[in-house]
Amino acid sequence: MKRFLSPADIGDLHQALQEALAIKADRYANVELGRNKTLLMIFFNNSLRTRLSTQKAAMNLGMNVIVLDVNQGAWKLETERGVIMDGDKSEHLLEAIPVMGCYCDIIGVRSFAKFENKEDDYSEKILQQFIDYSGRPVFSMESATRHPLQAFADFITIEEHKRTERPKVVLTWAPHPKALPQAVPNSFAEWMIAAGYDLTIAQPEGYELDEKFTQGATITHNQDEALAGADFVYAKNWAAYSDPNYGKVLSKDMSWTVSKEKMALTNNAFFMHCLPVRRNMIVTDDVIEAPTSLVIPEAANREISATAVLKRMLESL
């Protein structure tokens, strides 16, 4: 596997699941596979779960790890040819990225949507440059439009807890004080659809996601209808995708908060969220603390999805 952005990169999800569960049963089983191989983790944005779980995953495989924190403000790469570089950009990506590739075997990149330019964000401008110029296998540690390690972990978590072959999964928008990228809901939708689940997406008007991620899902503005009969409820906030409101907060409607009353509409559903979560905005205390809350098991599975992805990449070196 030379890149990891979407479920298509990982191929058969059932097989990937079996690999993940084998890792979970014995997470150091492949500790010789990564011997004398180096993972470079590049963070253009802050990270807690991804930083820790991906380092742990690399260690599970016996890899060496180098973490590079890039202050997005301080390290401005020139991306255009022909520019006289007499300003604040001290290096061109055409040098910086191949050089980073020199010192490692696999690269993970975190680079969030900036909400300055929709086309830059949705073309994955920064991540794509690493794919094109680093000469190494590259995986997303959450990029502008996707967070596949999270969605893979969510998929594993659902498979571990599902009570029917094809569960009803509801992805519901919920209120939040700030504008958040669409990376998590985009990836969640595309993985749930790839897994063959019955996916419903509920959101207020104006919050439609990019259709390329949601083909096959039922889409509604009625949260209560969506929740009826749900087996899994995945709450998440995101800012608007559609023009002319790209990156804007259109609603903070607290009636969308996932509460005990909302969960009562479901088929005794499990509650999920990628974390970090704003309590009593996204979800109430009682729902996130209930035995049916999977937020900690999901986070724990981040180590497993990352180990599975790195294992595939090591095998392809």
- Give residues in contact with its own copies (CB under 8 A): 28, 31, 36, 38, 40, 46, 48-49, 51-53, 55-56, 59-60, 64, 66, 68, 74, 78, 81-87, 90-92, 94-96, 98-100, 102-104, 177, 275-281, 285, 288-289, 295-296, 299-300, 302-303
Nearer CB in complex with its own copies: 2/76 = 76
Min separation Cβ 105 and its own copies, Å: 10
149 marked as binding residue: yes
Nearer CB in complex with its own copies: 143/237 = 237
Min separation Cβ 220 and its own copies, Å: 26
Nearer CB in complex with its own copies: 85/264 = 85
- In sequence order, the 6+-apart residues with CB closer than 8 A to the CB of 313 are 1, 2, 4, 106, 137, 139
Nearer CB in complex with its own copies: 168/302 = 302
Question: Which residue is listed with tokens 């609603």?
Answer: 251
5 marked as binding residue: no
Token pair for 99: 């050089």
102 marked as binding residue: no
Nearer CB in complex with its own copies: 103/212 = 103
Min separation Cβ 218 and its own copies, Å: 29
Min separation Cβ 200 and its own copies, Å: 25
- Quote the Cα angle for 98-102-107, to 5°: 80
Nearer CB in complex with its own copies: 135/216 = 135
17 marked as binding residue: no
Nearer CB in complex with its own copies: 92/114 = 92
Min separation Cβ 233 and its own copies, Å: 17
> 257 by DSSP, 3-state: which?
coil
Cis peptide before 276 (omega within 30 of 0): yes
Q: What kind and span of H or E run contains 15?
A: helix 13-25
48 marked as binding residue: yes
Token pair for 148: 């596949």
Q: Which amino acid is at 48?
A: L
- Report phi then psi at 36, rounded to 5: 60, 25
147 marked as binding residue: yes
- Report phi then psi at 108, rounded to 5: -110, 140
Min separation Cβ 306 and its own copies, Å: 10
191 marked as binding residue: no
Min separation Cβ 101 and its own copies, Å: 9
Q: Please count the other Cβ atoms lying within 10 Å of the Cβ belonging to residue 62.
A: 16
Q: Which amino acid is at 189?
A: A
Say if residues 89 and 73 touch (Cβ distance below 8 Å): no
Q: Please count the other Cβ atoms lying within 10 Å of the Cβ belonging to residue 96.
A: 18
Say if residues 303 and 57 touch (Cβ distance below 8 Å): yes
Min separation Cβ 60 and its own copies, Å: 8
Nearer CB in complex with its own copies: 94/179 = 94
CA 117 to CA 110: how far, in whole Å? 18
221 marked as binding residue: no
**β-bridge mates for residue 109, sequence order:** 42, 140
Give the residue ranges of the annotated binding site for carbamoyl phosphate. 47-50, 75, 110, 147-150, 274-275, 302
Give the residue ranges of the annotated binding site for N(2)-succinyl-L-ornithine. 142, 176, 236, 278
Give the residue ranges of the annotated binding site. 47-50, 75, 110, 142, 147-150, 176, 236, 274-275, 278, 302
